[in-house]
Amino acid sequence: MPNHIFINRESGNDNISIFYDEPSFVVIANKDDLTSIQLIDESKKPGIYILLGDDKRYIGQASNAIFNRLQQHYINKPWWNKLIFFGREDGHLSKAQLDLLERKINDSKQKEHPVQNLCTPCSFVLFCFLLNQ
């Protein structure tokens, strides 16, 4: 059964949700939480990220630290306001696995399945299955 950790700083400015289902994790946060995201271990691992804006979606991968890519997009892609990223708790994702996951998500987007539904239980189970391949 997946575990859920909700991080809410006392100032009320940060809301970061982290879901675990061994060996994988999913993080959901607002763009404004980027400074706090760099403090969590999950942001230092490779993985897939999705930037969400009002009418745009961007799917990418990071073969090192996800935070580094998010930091670049903070400057270069000002339109997004929410993000989802995921990976393995042990950080073991090869370039081939990242390519496969990114392609599968892009394929589902092409078929007009909303990316926002990525973290439904069904797709989370699919993600966990793909990570265990």
Q: Over the stretch 26-83, which tens digit does the pLDDT of each residue have?
A: 999 999 999 999 999 999 999 999 999 988 889 999 999 999 999 999 999 999 999 9
Structural tokens at position 130: 């793909």
Whose CA is closest to 1, among 89, 113, 128, 115?
128
Cβ neighbours for 32, distance < 8 A, ≥ 6 positions apart: 13, 14
Q: What is the pLDDT of residue 109?
A: 63
- Asked whether 25 and 84 are in contact (CB, 8 A), the reply is no
* Predicted confidence band of residue 126 (pLDDT cuts 50, 70, 90): low
Q: How far apart are CA 28 and CA 6, in angstroms?
A: 10
pLDDT at position 20 is 85
pTM surpassing 0.85?
no
Residue 45's contacts (CB-CB under 8 Å, 6 or more residues apart) are 65, 66, 87, 88, 89, 91, 93
Query: What secondary structure letter does DSSP report for 130?
Result: H
